Amino acid sequence: MFSETLLEHFRNPHNVGDLPGATTTVNATNPVCGDVLRLGVRLEQGRIIEAKFKCQGCTAAIAAGSVLTDALIGKTPGEARRIAPQEISQVLGGLPPATFHAAQLCVDAIAALVRNLG
């Protein structure tokens, strides 16, 4: 059902935890399945230099949060806004339709992040 890449990000997620000194921290929730993603980033000179996440959710949501933090580092908020759920799914080896909501949760977190940085 899940790709080896997804399982690796689930077992050994990147950038997990709170981010002391974060420029902003946001929460995104999927009310249907109950997944919650907390995302913190630190910006310097207009670029995301650090990103960390905490996720209460399914295997796919945790893996997607890991991929999201990797994807955000080095980007401007405008570049981050262009990350699509299909990209996150693709990096994870393709999310099954029943778990694609995990990639959408990440995009919802990016939207909240960009609004906060406004």
pTM over 0.85: yes
Kindly report, residue by residue over 29-42, the tens digit of the pLDDT.
998 889 999 999 99
* Residue 118 to residue 112: CA distance in whole angstroms: 10
**Distance from C-alpha of 72 to C-alpha of 52, rounded to nearest angstrom:** 10
Q: How confident is the model at residue 113 (pLDDT cuts 50, 70, 90)?
A: very high
Number of domains in the chain: 1
What range does the domain containing 110 cover? 4-117
CATH number at residue 84: 3.90.1010.10
Write the single-letter amino acid at 82: R
pLDDT of res. 108: 97
